[in-house]
A and B are shown apart, each in its own frame.
Chain A
């Protein structure tokens, strides 16, 4: 009897402790105020979002927004999803990852929400192409867009009499001129595999067949058929970079370019804030990596930040209120200004002088999405490309991509 009572007491106590532990991690309300869990992936924008949240909380004193940012946000989010723990409001990168989660039905459907009509149709289209749960659904609200091209140092260009290149041949010629004058034409940061992707995307948009991934998914083409030229040009460009390009990381690249040591830096508009931290007075320009002719050149742009709401959240009205607040014209504009982004609302324009330079491409609709967003994340595109840039074996790169694609397709 004594034994049984003790066991029962101990078991009860343990369960109570467990339950209390669970309650502590999931307790969302304090004194009538609803607390929203706002998951945000962009470390550069923490302070900006803090200011936006303060503005929202002034307007809605009944809601508290807790900004949740972690390094390697995509992985962190997936580990939470495995536990069925979806944040209330999310700010995510509009990439292939977002598309896969949207298809799996993690996010709210905004299709009937009037806020959707305020968004630029072109930007919305790029995002919808990533994936939605079902046709006609809108699973995210584009909040900020980016431009992915070639950043350049105007002073160095002027000093060495180099004009902004409008064709691929001119770009290579410009790089050779700079190199002959003792200036590093390009800075690459290939210690981090992902930094090969912005260049890869920009070149692919102009060299690979436009319907390549549709045909690939239908099993009617291969990387070997469609991506050889992209690979050749990618390597040609990186070989004109500095010798220690495989031993330098993204932060080193931002510093080298920010200090005005190199002429060109193949990165997107998201890199502008960290570069300006280093070189506030640097005269930066930007141009799309050109195709063979100026007419064929297209600028690569994607959704840098998309706002969405967890489909199953218990705090939906509050979460939607915050999401709509974020999409207000003044909030979008303020964010775009601070983070050097392209605002996503109809008729809005970037205020950043660097981005105003690529405005014509946006206006004329000569914009392409990121091709790597079409590649499932299980295909290690970035490391395989990094490997190719080291060993220069084009045939092996194409073969590996084809094999990885096939393997992943077979497993799905």
Chain B
């Protein structure tokens, strides 16, 4: 019986004309395109990631000998208040910066989408920050915060301005927010502009005939219809801000004290400067998981309120 039931498919396959099987085959060119990329990606991306996960279970200092320590690194992380403080700073910074970037970018995009004069020039101007390197801009902002603003504050007699906010542990994070928002808004504007172009103009005409004002049009037409762009902007901004590194390096180097140490900064400092490669690799693995979870949750929540025509 068993032998008999196993036979029929084979015979069917054998009877099938050869031509059909050939046609089903994917042309080799596709493999030729995918394989080199796959190999490069695997060698330069996947292998190092796996290596990192592996090292997070050791006490490797980055050089010399090492032993397996199991989950010790992860356990020690939970008790490390320096790491805790860096998570707090990073999330506070990322949430504030994400909200600011999206509010600003949406406003600018609406303005640039309208039929204003010098529209193309203005669009180019607003895109400029995205082209400049954060490190370079960071040093300019550092000078602004450290020298120009205090000088201005002093000459105007405003006490609150006369000291550098970067020298104040309570306020330094705001300096990082200003730089981050300034730099990231440009890219968000581009995405919103693309979104605005997908909305057909007759919708607005119809709404205007029905007597909807500008605000009502924005609330009921524009915003719902660019929701997909809003989602992607929120997710990308938050993810990018959670990995903030060069902003901090350029402005404060984690200081004053350790008040603006982002998670990436702690990973870099502890791992490469502090000789705790394995420990900070564990931190990096854990943080990777945190970012993935946050992004997926965010995507799910925001997707729910998306609509399409």
Contact = CB atoms under 8 A, between A and B. Distances in A.
Contacts of B61: 100, 104
A216 B276 CA distance: 21
A7 interface: yes
B141 to A, nearest CB: 14
A407 interface: yes
Interface string A1-36: 011001100110111001000000000000000000
Given A192-B253, A383-B258, A390-B257, A378 B272 contact: no
B200 interface: no
Nearest to A3: B28
A191 B39 contact: no
A81 B64 CA distance: 9
Contact of B273 (A2, A6, A18, A74): A74
Contacts of B169: 387, 390-391
Interface residues of B, number: 49
Given A82-B277, A247-B163, A387 B258 contact: yes
Contacts of A191: 146, 166-167, 255-256
Contacts of A104: 61, 63-65
A387 B31 contact: no
A240 interface: no
A247 B254 CA distance: 14
Nearest to B274: A378
Given A391-B169, A407-B76, A2 B28 contact: yes
Secondary structure call for the A interface? helix
Contact of B258 (A18, A105, A380, A391): A380
A137 interface: no
Interface residues of A, number: 49
A410 B276 CA distance: 13
Interface string A384-412: 10111011000000000001100110111
B258 to A, nearest CB: 5
Interface stretch (B77-85, B112-120, B232-240, B286-294): B77-85
A247 B146 contact: yes
A388 to B, nearest CB: 8
B35 to A, nearest CB: 5
B36 interface: yes
A386 B257 contact: yes
Max chain B CB contacts within 10 Å: which of A18, A105, A248, A383? A383
Interface of B: 25, 28, 31-32, 35-36, 39-40, 43, 59, 61-65, 72-73, 76, 79-82, 146-147, 150, 163-164, 166-169, 253-259, 261, 268-270, 272-277, 279
Given A14-B39, A75-B273, A104-B65, 7 more contacts: A75-B268, A78-B62, A78-B272, A79-B272, A246-B164, A380-B258, A407-B80
17 contacts: A6-B28, A78-B272, A82-B62, A97-B275, A191-B146, A191-B167, A247-B150, A247-B167, A378-B276, A387-B169, A387-B259, A390-B167, A403-B81, A407-B76, A407-B79, A407-B80, A412-B59
Shortest beta-carbon contacts, A-B, top 7 = A387-B257, A104-B64, A246-B167, A378-B274, A247-B164, A81-B63, A3-B28
